[in-house]
Protein backbone atom coordinates (compact mmCIF):
# COMPACT_ATOMS: atom_id res chain seq x y z
CA UNK A 1 0.00 0.00 0.00
CA UNK A 2 1.53 3.32 -1.00
CA UNK A 3 1.26 6.46 1.07
CA UNK A 4 0.15 9.49 -0.82
CA UNK A 5 2.36 12.49 -0.18
CA UNK A 6 1.77 16.19 -0.58
CA UNK A 7 4.67 18.57 -0.98
CA UNK A 8 4.36 21.59 1.28
CA UNK A 9 6.56 24.65 1.22
CA UNK A 10 7.14 26.42 4.49
CA UNK A 11 9.30 29.35 5.44
CA UNK A 12 11.47 29.48 8.52
CA UNK A 13 14.14 31.90 9.63
CA UNK A 14 17.60 31.06 8.28
CA UNK A 15 18.89 30.18 11.76
CA UNK A 16 16.12 27.62 12.26
CA UNK A 17 16.68 26.18 8.80
CA UNK A 18 20.34 25.61 9.67
CA UNK A 19 19.34 23.92 12.93
CA UNK A 20 16.88 21.67 11.11
CA UNK A 21 19.50 20.68 8.56
CA UNK A 22 22.11 20.01 11.27
CA UNK A 23 19.74 17.94 13.38
CA UNK A 24 18.51 15.93 10.40
CA UNK A 25 22.11 15.16 9.45
CA UNK A 26 23.06 14.28 13.04
CA UNK A 27 20.08 11.92 13.39
CA UNK A 28 20.52 10.52 9.88
CA UNK A 29 17.00 11.60 8.87
CA UNK A 30 15.64 13.66 6.05
CA UNK A 31 14.32 17.12 6.82
CA UNK A 32 10.88 15.80 5.89
CA UNK A 33 11.16 12.96 8.42
CA UNK A 34 12.26 15.42 11.08
CA UNK A 35 9.35 17.77 10.34
CA UNK A 36 6.82 14.91 10.36
CA UNK A 37 8.19 13.80 13.72
CA UNK A 38 8.01 17.39 15.02
CA UNK A 39 4.39 17.69 13.92
CA UNK A 40 3.42 14.40 15.57
CA UNK A 41 5.07 15.58 18.80
CA UNK A 42 3.33 18.98 18.58
CA UNK A 43 -0.04 17.31 17.97
CA UNK A 44 0.47 14.93 20.88
CA UNK A 45 1.43 17.82 23.18
CA UNK A 46 -1.75 19.68 22.22
CA UNK A 47 -3.91 16.60 22.81
CA UNK A 48 -2.35 16.00 26.24
CA UNK A 49 -2.79 19.69 27.13
CA UNK A 50 -6.50 19.34 26.32
CA UNK A 51 -6.77 16.22 28.46
CA UNK A 52 -4.97 17.88 31.40
CA UNK A 53 -7.22 20.96 31.09
CA UNK A 54 -10.29 18.70 31.17
CA UNK A 55 -8.92 16.93 34.25
CA UNK A 56 -8.18 20.20 36.06
CA UNK A 57 -11.67 21.52 35.27
CA UNK A 58 -13.29 18.27 36.40
CA UNK A 59 -11.28 18.32 39.64
CA UNK A 60 -12.26 21.94 40.24
CA UNK A 61 -15.92 21.23 39.57
CA UNK A 62 -15.92 18.20 41.86
CA UNK A 63 -13.80 19.96 44.50
CA UNK A 64 -11.00 17.40 44.26
CA UNK A 65 -7.75 18.66 45.74
CA UNK A 66 -6.09 15.57 47.22
CA UNK A 67 -6.06 11.81 46.81
CA UNK A 68 -8.24 11.64 49.90
CA UNK A 69 -10.89 13.58 47.97
CA UNK A 70 -10.73 10.98 45.21
CA UNK A 71 -11.20 8.20 47.79
CA UNK A 72 -14.13 10.11 49.31
CA UNK A 73 -15.84 10.39 45.92
CA UNK A 74 -15.06 6.81 44.87
CA UNK A 75 -16.62 5.69 48.13
Give the Å distances, CA to CA, from 41 to 3, 44, 64.
20, 5, 30
- Residue 51's H or E segment, with its range, is helix 31-61
- Sign, CA dihedral 53-54-60-64, equals negative
Q: Tens of pLDDT along 24-67?
A: 999 999 999 999 999 999 999 999 999 999 999 999 999 999 99
Q: Tens of pLDDT along 7-21?
A: 999 999 999 999 999
Give the Å distances, CA to CA, from 30 to 5, 7, 37, 41.
15, 14, 11, 17
Amino acid sequence: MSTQRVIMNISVPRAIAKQIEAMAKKENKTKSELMREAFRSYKSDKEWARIWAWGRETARRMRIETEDDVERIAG
